[in-house]
Amino acid sequence: MPSAQLTLARKHLSDAQLIAFFREAAWEDGTRAPGNLCDDLDKGRTLDGIFERYDPDREGGSLAIELEVKKVGPKKFRITFGFHGAHEGDGGVWNVTYDAKGNLTMCEADSFWIC
């Protein structure tokens, strides 16, 4: 069952658009969270599997995942993403734009945070 956060994000963006964002954001120097998620994708895990693994409501895990997608324009979004834990984790906020075909055209970091 998909996580609530992923379900809400999918109301605005397809899995392909989310993955394009994660891969582009992984190039930023300010946070490791997108790169860690991409490592899981490269190991063959699905978005559903990754979000299930880091669901904030699961028991026994040290990190919880955070994803929030806010639509701020016709093809513009503000995406908050990261991992939280007790004394560990990081993430950030990005301003992201897609073209009419859904291709990522801009991914600009706004801010980063570290736990």
Backbone angles phi, psi at 85, to 5 degrees: -155, 175
pLDDT at 70 over 70: yes
Domain count of the chain?
1
> Under 8 Å CB-to-CB from 105, ≥6 apart: which residues?
97, 98, 99
How many residues are listed for the chain in this entry? 115
Residue 33 sits at φ, ψ, to 5 deg, of -55, -50
Helix axes 33-42, 15-25, angle to 10 degrees: 120
Question: Per-residue pLDDT tens for 19-67?
Answer: 999 999 998 777 899 999 999 999 999 999 999 888 766 666 678 889 9
Q: Is the pLDDT of residue 1 over 60?
A: no
What is the residue whose two structure tokens read 């699961």?
Answer: 58
Q: Is the pLDDT of residue 3 over 80?
A: yes
Query: What's the domain range around 67?
Result: 4-114
